[in-house]
């Protein structure tokens, strides 16, 4: 934005006009178009980013910034501000576009409407992705409609122009980006409203993934015909066209498109659904592992049934005197298995190492740490190593032999003494 425009915004912020209950205007980018024929006689469109103001008020209001293009939204049956209720104005991103009816000129059925209108779309996005709102702004025009599609010769809009408009249709989603787990019910929100009753609305849901487009649901209010499922028609009467997935699968991933059309308008909101399933982590040993010095054991940390594929497994060791401190060392002799794809299209991976038992390692704690994009913090599993000295069987055999010999000598002595005493008695 220009320096003057930026200064103007910050001045207004300091003046306190950006409270959610006092929104009078929003700074916007107006993505203007210049359509022309190139040297090959093909139609090309040049996009021109221009500074604009979205202002809320009444017809005849003075623009808050006379140096910018002003889209003045006047009162109608649709209040665009109610769709952003509870949101701070600085959290809104505003974008304006021209809208072409592709040569279809239909009188908009509201009181005082002209035969011909100029149309614009206003897109409001929450800065943290909490919602997306697409609204259609109608600007009545006194001139008769052109004989060809309007985009061939858009009427010019000077920099200080004030365009008085009303909101004719609104589409909103509160789930523009969704991360879902497997085998869960997931609702994809889509809400719409039109500025007049009895509008002949057509609502459709499509799913698009890897270039393939599939129709999931359609409803035509004029004919009453319904195709597909997933949308409750009772809620539809109140403008709720949300789509519900009964149980998510890996194949549920993709872009879901909720489209609403009322001739001559066609609007849509896109919802990106991504599956994230956290790993199940396990060790092949218990909390404590006892080994005899010199023995070797394969230690395996398994991360199972996660999605998407990328996962990180790191093994750490910690000395006994440091168990209460955060100091750890990562092991270098760790091997990773190949990614295994399970029947449900999740993945499994194991990280393992071979542990050679040594008395100096007794009391060490070994920890496996598994990181995945579905986890806020890594999952850790630990065990403590106990190393025992090897048994000296030769020493035990020698001691045992001596004990047996002593017992034998003692028995012979007692037997001889008993015979001597018995002889004297006779």
**Is the model's pLDDT at 74 over the cut of 90?**
yes
Q: Based on the domain organization, do 93 and 108 belong to the same domain?
A: yes
Q: Based on the domain organization, do 128 and 93 belong to the same domain?
A: yes
Closest listed residue to residue 205, CA positions, set 228, 224, 178, 221: 228
Q: Based on the domain organization, do 327 and 263 belong to the same domain?
A: no
Assess if residue 422 is contained within a domain: no
Provide the Cα torsion 355, 356, 357, 362; round to 10°. Answer: -60
Measured CA to CA in angstroms, residue 373 lies from 276, 278, 307, 308 at distances of 8, 8, 9, 8
Q: Based on the domain organization, do 80 and 33 belong to the same domain?
A: yes
Q: What is the rounded CA–CA span in Å between residue 117 and residue 294?
A: 87
Assign 3-state DSSP to the chain and report helix, strand, coil percentages, each to 5. Answer: 15, 45, 35
The string of pLDDT tens digits covering residues 283-305 is: 999 999 999 999 999 999 999 99
Q: Pairing mode, if any, of strands 92-99 and 25-37?
A: parallel
% of the chain beyond a pLDDT of 70: 82
Q: What is the rounded CA–CA span in Å between residue 233 and residue 215?
A: 17
Do 285 and 302 form a contact (C-beta atoms < 8 A)?
no
Q: Based on the domain organization, do 247 and 101 belong to the same domain?
A: yes
Q: Provide the mean pLDDT of the chain.
A: 86
Q: What is the rounded CA–CA span in Å between residue 43 and residue 41?
A: 7
Q: Based on the domain organization, do 334 and 308 belong to the same domain?
A: yes
The string of pLDDT tens digits covering residues 258-286 is: 999 999 999 999 999 999 999 999 999 99
Q: What is the rounded CA–CA span in Å between residue 323 and residue 319?
A: 6
The string of pLDDT tens digits covering residues 194-240 is: 999 888 999 999 999 998 999 999 999 989 899 999 998 888 888 99
Coil, helix or strand at residue 88: coil
pLDDT the model gives residue 397: 60
Assess if residue 408 is contained within a domain: no
Banded model confidence at residue 148, pLDDT cuts 50, 70, 90 = low
Angle made by CA atoms 299, 305, 307, in degrees to the nearest 5: 120
Assess if residue 371 is contained within a domain: yes
Mind giving me the DSSP string for 361-378? GTT-EEEEEEE-TT-SS-
Domain termination residue (choose one: 223, 247, 275): 275
pLDDT the model gives residue 243: 96
Q: What is the rounded CA–CA span in Å between residue 206 and residue 266?
A: 14
Q: What is the rounded CA–CA span in Å between residue 247 and residue 171?
A: 26
Q: Based on the domain organization, do 253 and 301 belong to the same domain?
A: no
Q: What is the rounded CA–CA span in Å between residue 68 and residue 52?
A: 5
- Please tell me the total count of domains within the chain: 2
Q: Based on the domain organization, do 329 and 378 belong to the same domain?
A: yes
Assess if residue 404 is contained within a domain: no
Rg of the Cα trace of the chain? 38
Q: Based on the domain organization, do 175 and 240 belong to the same domain?
A: yes
Assess if residue 418 is contained within a domain: no
Range of the domain at 27: 21-275
pLDDT the model gives residue 417: 60
Would you call 50 exposed, middle or buried from its count of C-beta atoms within 10 A (0-12, 13-18, 19+)?
A: middle
Provide the Cα torsion 157, 160, 164, 169; round to 10°. Answer: 60
Tokens matching residue 228: 């597909």
Assess if residue 413 is contained within a domain: no
Provide the Cα torsion 137, 141, 145, 148; round to 10°. Answer: -50
395: left (phi over 0), alpha (psi -120 to 50) or beta: alpha
Name beta bridge partners: 92: 126
Name beta bridge partners: 283: 301
């Amino acid at each position: 934005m220009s320096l003057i425009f930026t200064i103007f915004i910050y001045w207004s912020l300091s003046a306190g006009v950006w409270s959610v209950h006092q929104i009078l205007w929003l700074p916007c980018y107006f993505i203007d178009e210049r359509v022309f024929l190139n040297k090959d006689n093909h139609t090309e469109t040049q996009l021109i980013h221009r500074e604009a103001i979205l202002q809320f008020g009444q017809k005849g209001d003075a623009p808050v910034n006379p140096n910018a293009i002003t889209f003045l939204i006047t009162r109608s049956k649709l209040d665009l501000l109610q769709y952003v209720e509870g949101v701070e104005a600085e959290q809104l991103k505003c974008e304006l576009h021209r809208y072409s009816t592709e040569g279809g000129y239909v009188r908009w059925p509201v009181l005082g409407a002209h035969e011909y209108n100029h149309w614009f779309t206003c897109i409001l996005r929450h800065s943290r992705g909490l919602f997306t709102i697409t609204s259609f702004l109608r600007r009545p025009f006194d001139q008769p409609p052109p004989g060809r599609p309007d985009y061939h010769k858009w009427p010019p809009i000077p920099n200080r122009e004030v365009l008085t408009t009303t909101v004719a249709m609104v589409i909103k989603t509160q789930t523009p980006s969704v991360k879902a787990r497997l085998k869960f019910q997931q609702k994809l929100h889509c809400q719409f409203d039109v500025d007049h009753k009895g509008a002949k609305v057509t609502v459709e849901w499509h799913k698009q993934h890897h270039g393939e487009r599939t129709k999931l649901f359609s409803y035509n209010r004029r004919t009453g015909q319904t195709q597909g499922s997933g949308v409750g028609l009772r809620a539809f009467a109140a403008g709720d066209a949300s789509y519900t997935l009964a149980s998510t699968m890996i194949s549920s991933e993709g872009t879901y498109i909720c489209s609403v059309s009322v001739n001559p308008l066609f609007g849509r909101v896109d919802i990106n659904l991504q599956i994230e399933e956290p790993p199940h982590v396990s060790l092949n040993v218990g909390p404590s592992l006892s080994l005899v010095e010199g023995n070797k054991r394969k230690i395996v940390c398994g991360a199972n049934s996660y999605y998407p594929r990328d996962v990180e497994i790191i093994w750490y060791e910690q000395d006994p005197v440091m168990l209460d401190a955060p100091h750890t060392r990562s092991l270098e002799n760790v091997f990773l298995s190949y990614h295994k794809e399970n029947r449900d299209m999740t993945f499994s991976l194991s990280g393992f190492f071979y542990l050679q038992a040594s008395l100096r390692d007794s009391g060490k704690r070994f920890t496996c740490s598994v990181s995945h994009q579905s986890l806020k913090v890594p999952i850790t599993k630990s065990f403590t190593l106990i190393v025992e000295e090897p048994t000296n069987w030769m020493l035990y055999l020698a001691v045992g032999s001596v004990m047996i010999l002593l017992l034998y000598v003692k028995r012979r002595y007692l037997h001889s003494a008993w015979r001597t005493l018995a002889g004297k008695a006779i």
